Chains A and B, each alone.
Chain A
Amino acid sequence: MPEKSASNLVAEPKSPSKIRSPKRPAGTLYRGNEGMWSWVLHRITGVAIYFFLLVHILDTALVRVSPEAYNQVIETYKTPVMGLGEIALVAAIAFHAFNGLRIILIDFWAFGAKHQRAMFWVVIGLWLILLAGFIPRQLMHVFGG
């Protein structure tokens, strides 16, 4: 295509597998852009899930106290506010899970480190699909008759 090569002053490398050096300081795998933000989100969702886990073990331990004690506490999980909280919990878990798989692929597979940016958007895509399935279902359970 002559038009394209004329307008494109920087020659495209012949081999697509060759890594081009950036024109200006660019992010690395862990600094800036998708690499850094996935790391930030992984930490935030991890801490949130951890504190929920602590509470969840304690509330489930109430089955050892009495049926009444357990039912009374678990009833609060069925309120509208907690119903929305469960959506936030599932959103955090799903991101942490999918991004965790992305981290494993980066660590153990050369393809993973090279395509970490694309894989971040795959993570976001899978996350949106999972939430698109879960949120309506959860709203039906919590707010439906």
Chain B
Amino acid sequence: MSLIEAPRTPTRGRRTGGINWEKWGWIYMRASGVVLIVLIFGHLFVNLVAGEGVKAIDFAFVGGKLSDPFWAVWDGLMLWLALIHGGNGMRTLVNDYATNPKVRNILLIGIAASTAILILLGTLVITTFDPCPAGADPALLSSICEGR
């Protein structure tokens, strides 16, 4: 029995059986990354490049987009894939750089909580969104609201 621990001794024991979550996380980063390239470049083109770019974005613009199921699904996929991709990336950085176990646990819980809360919030916004809210100034609404 040696007094000095071997270098790079894992703090946790070697995983025996069960689901290899690290492997699936690794696969998820690559799979979601490829899909996100299409989703985010499409999102950036429609919102920043096409037409008047960022100056065209207002409630009516978003209302017109999110009332179309195509963009609702697009944005919903982007929300879920990007937040989990980003959250898992931040988890990797915290595991690499936070050496104090207490600080690391607080950061990991913070990442998990903010990811869960923002996915819930974003999903609720997309699914319950009303592009033509009752009593709103008609000048601020999308043209799809005319005659309602």
* A and B are partners in one complex rather than unrelated chains: yes
Q: Footprint of B on A, CB under 8 Å?
A: 43, 46-47, 49-50, 53-54, 57-58, 60-61, 63-64, 66-68, 70-71, 74, 77-78, 83, 86, 90, 93, 97, 100-101, 103-104, 107, 134, 137-138, 140-142
**Known contacts A70-B62, A97-B37, A134-B49; is A61 also within 8 Å of B114 by CB?**
no
Classify the secondary structure of A's interface with B: helix
Which residues on B are within 8 Å of A, measured CB to CB? 30, 33-34, 36-37, 40-41, 44, 48-49, 52-55, 57-60, 62-63, 66, 79, 82-83, 86-87, 89-90, 93, 114, 118, 121-122, 124-125, 128-129, 133, 136-137, 140-141
Classify the secondary structure of B's interface with A.
helix
Would you give the shortest CB distance from B86 to chain A, in whole angstroms?
A: 4
Interchain CB contact (< 8 A) of A54 among B30, B48, B59, B114:
B114
Residues of A within 8 A of B55 (CB): 78, 141-142
Contacts of B122 in A (CB 8 A): 57, 60-61
Contact at A74–B53, with CB atoms within 8 Å?
A: no
Contact between chains at B54 and A66 (CB < 8 Å): no
Partner of B86, one of A49, A77, A140, A142: A49
Contact B53 A100 (CB under 8 A): no
How far apart sit A46 and B89, CA to CA, in the bound complex (Å)?
A: 7
| A61 lies within 8 A of B125 (CB) | yes
Report yes or no: A74 in contact with B137, Cβ–Cβ below 8 A: no
The complex places the Cα of A53 from the Cα of B39 at a distance, in Å, of 14
Contact of B89 among A50, A83, A101 (CB under 8 A): A50
In the assembled complex, which residues on chain A have CB atoms less than 8 Å from the CB atom of B63? Answer: 63, 67
What's the Cα separation between A140 and B50 when bound, in Å? 12
A70 near B58 with CB under 8 A, answer yes
Chain B residues with CB below 8 A from A138, complex form: 48-49, 53-54
One of A64, A66, A77, A100 near B129 (C-beta < 8 A):
A64
Contacts of A60 in B (CB 8 A): 62, 122, 125
